Structure 1
Amino acid sequence: MRTTTTAVIAAGLLLTTLTACSGSDDDKVANKPSKVPTLSAADREAAREAAGLPPKPNATVTAAYIKALDAIDTDIVHGKTEKAVDRGLNTCSSVKSSPKDQAKLIDLTNQRFTSPTHPNGHGAATAGKILKVVRKNLCPDF
């Protein structure tokens, strides 16, 4: 009896799902690509500065930054250079807003620098090392 009831409920849910996904003219309008203008490189840099972020690093700085992170643990970058740079630049924003709150900065760094094998961060000790690398390479003036 339970098997039959479960099968009937599953079939009903499947039918409801398929009916809901059938699409309409309204869906076609909603799925049109937006025509939002893209920002120029100069506008993006101005927005970064306004947000308290340092400029995107050049290739030499990026290479030194990634090498320093890999020296701590290769799992920090885990092959995602652009993501590591973005996380570092976001950390710089926190450094600029709270330069003396080391505990907060370490906690935020630990939250930002995650990986598939460290989904909750690499721990406070490693986050402290990452923070030093970020400050030295990406935002030395903060």
Structure 2
Amino acid sequence: MALSLGVLVAGCATADSHKMSSPYDKPGFTTMVEDGRLWVFKTGSKELADFQKKGEPAKQVTRIAAGPNRMTVKSTDSATIDAYIVQKAGFETKIEDGRLWVFKSGSKEWAAFEKSGEPAKQVTRIAAGPGGMTIKSSDSKVIDEYLAAK
């Protein structure tokens, strides 16, 4: 009986269900599964607070089968979905001009990139990233590790 109740509660769209955490959360992102779809918000954002208070927003972006286990992903804007999809533990990522920059978290290369932009030495892998995105980094080993990470 508890299992049946748990399934019912997880599928409900009440204000309380919007406060439940999700196993799909990533650093900087809060997620909720509703009706088999993954809602993604930047943690602490106005959009998240509005969703928790009011429910589904009138304006929303949907990416079918783009999430974990080919789950449909929804958010208030495509940039949030893109940033969520490319984020992996141990890496700093940034999407610029449709290309994904990848650096090890806390690395001097990431700090330099944040300060001055593109590094002089860079490696590019065309269409190797999520959704066929081009990946760039200052080191091919970082790209290999990123692609191997879950």
- Same-fold call, TM cutoff 0.5: no
TM-score (norm 1): 0.25
Name whichever structure is richer in helix by fraction.
Answer: 1
Q: More relative contact order in 1 or in 2 (CA 8 Å, sep 6+)?
A: 1
TM-score (norm 2): 0.24
